[in-house]
Amino acid sequence: MTYVLQGSDACVGTIQNSSECFEGARTVIQSEKFTNNAISDPSTQPGCSIEQHSDGSTDVWWNSASTSAESAPIRASTASVSAFVQGQVNFTVSLDTIESDDAVTITIVGPADRWFGVGFGASSMCVHMQADQCENGGPWAVIVSGDGQDAVTERKLDFHGPGTVVAKTVTVRSNTVTDGNRTVVLTRPLKVAKGAHFTFDPSVSTLPVITARGCSLEFAQHCGHGTAQLIFLATDRRTPICRGGIEGSIGGNRFINNGRCAPFPRGDLLTQENPTCFIETYQGGLKCCRDGQSLLDKDQEIPWRDQVLEYKLKFRFYFEEYKPAVEGKATATHQHLVRLGAQTEANSGEYDITQCSKGTPPAQCVQVITGRWRVRDMTPNQADQSTEGIKLIYAGPHCHAPTCLSMDLFNADTGELLCHVEPIRGKGSDSPYDEHGFLAIPPCLWGSTAEGLVEPQLLSLDTTLLSIKRNNNTLPHTGEMALWQMRGIIISSGENTQRDKADLVDAIAISNVERLAKPSKRRAQLRNTSPSDRLRDTF
């Protein structure tokens, strides 16, 4: 059984007794010290609750009284939130809700004879990974490497690199060593000048962090690292917890039901009770396919166990040379595309195709799922007033072509169809890419009308997108997917009056379509069809 903070969508039941309360609380948050308290007081929060303090300690309360006033704080202080994490280093973060020079207090405990550090706002050494690229680098980090003020530095980390030292925003309140452990207390404002530094927001309930410790006091390659999640709770205030659902493992890998499938309208899988959502019903898929695991049946001998298998891939890339803008004469030939994406299967990354009922006509054996999300959900780093929205240039659906029937992307606010894709199956001709067994899923493209493409439209950050995936379910199978891999242009406020350039679209589109299905023919088809036909037929 898992346990969560009460009030979230994940709460599925109440805790029944003090033993369950005291054990469950330790799985919800980390703490410097847990203290168990059993009471019977109808004037305070009933059931199981936790009370976090600014020093990292936590009181766990079991109140057996059956009635209570509304959840009132036991102590008056509600002007701050705090969180504690234990790992490569132990540290506590307390945030005042009112800005000041010392609104943030960070207490870090690590080995006295080694450097150690904490990076904020990321779960890896990349703030926002886009496929295999890390354009914005790593997070803001605090590094401690000895005694005194100068031993504490701030860095903007690189992707798997030390990064660069940035201007100091923290004040070292103390730096002491006891029993081989160094304790450093730092303060700083919630917000600092924009740039490489991190901004703390006391209204955010969780914050990803990374931790590391070195091999010596000299800042170099670490000898240990980890990730964690800060869970902020109101300081000195009781927060109730509840049951969050069943948890298990597959092949030693953790499987958590809670949150695996998003509720409607984000997705349909929970409503449809798709087997992939729950470990009790999971039939197979990605959770069973891990590095080093054989996918053969237990009674089958694994061939080539001691042999290295070699294979080669050949790629062909088409590109157009970039020409920068010339002031007063010409604009740049290309615009920067950002990576965008979303899952119709909503969080799970896969789902089961469940077999249609016996006797169902083949034409009616179709399983449909839908997903809805806002544009801003795909652009977490652009969700501010300076961004008007995006213009899609490339939308590539990802489904498993043998049984994938179609994928559609709509502007749910207007009902307009943005992209419709059906897989192309080889007919067995002598033409390249048309042999039996060949499958292709072409993308939707937008760009210059002069190139025969549809002009991209502006989608505001608050636009709701709707994805509809149809799949043949004559036979069942696991691990099906229904995600969108997209590229687009970020439109800044006031920029929408400028003409969009589509040269970069051609550079990407030709390489994708070339390897998928008869590029020259498809580009000719695009030029000879109307925009409405292209939206309907999508190649």
Percent of the chain scored above 90 by pLDDT? 51
pLDDT in tens, 328-353: 899 899 988 999 999 999 989 999 99
Mean pLDDT of 59-64: 95
Helix, strand, or coil (residue 212): strand
Predicted pLDDT at 296: 80
pLDDT in tens, 109-128: 999 999 999 999 988 888 87
Predicted pLDDT at 523: 32
CATH number for 81-230: choose from 2.60.40.1210, 3.40.190.10, 2.60.120.10, 3.90.700.10. 2.60.40.1210
pLDDT in tens, 394-422: 999 999 878 999 999 999 999 999 999 99
Mean pLDDT across the chain, nearest whole number?
A: 84
> Does 520 score more than 80 pLDDT?
no
Predicted pLDDT at 170: 94
Pairing of strands 57-63, 33-39: parallel
Distance, in Å, from the CA atom of 228 to the CA atom of 29, rounded to the nearest integer, reads 11
Predicted pLDDT at 439: 86
Better-scored residue on pLDDT, 254 or 468: 468
Query: Among all chains, which residue has been given the structure tokens 């493992």?
Result: 249
> Does 508 score more than 90 pLDDT?
no
Predicted pLDDT at 380: 67
Which strand (E) or helix (H) includes residue 347? none
Domain ranges of the chain: 2-80+237-256, 81-230, 308-537
Distance, in Å, from the CA atom of 506 to the CA atom of 529, rounded to the nearest integer, reads 18
pLDDT in tens, 194-221: 667 899 998 888 899 999 999 999 998 8
- pTM metric for this prediction: 0.63
Q: Smallest Cα–Cα separation from 62: which of 81, 82, 35?
A: 35
Instruction: List the beta bridge partners of residue 397.
Output: 484
Better-scored residue on pLDDT, 450 or 530: 450
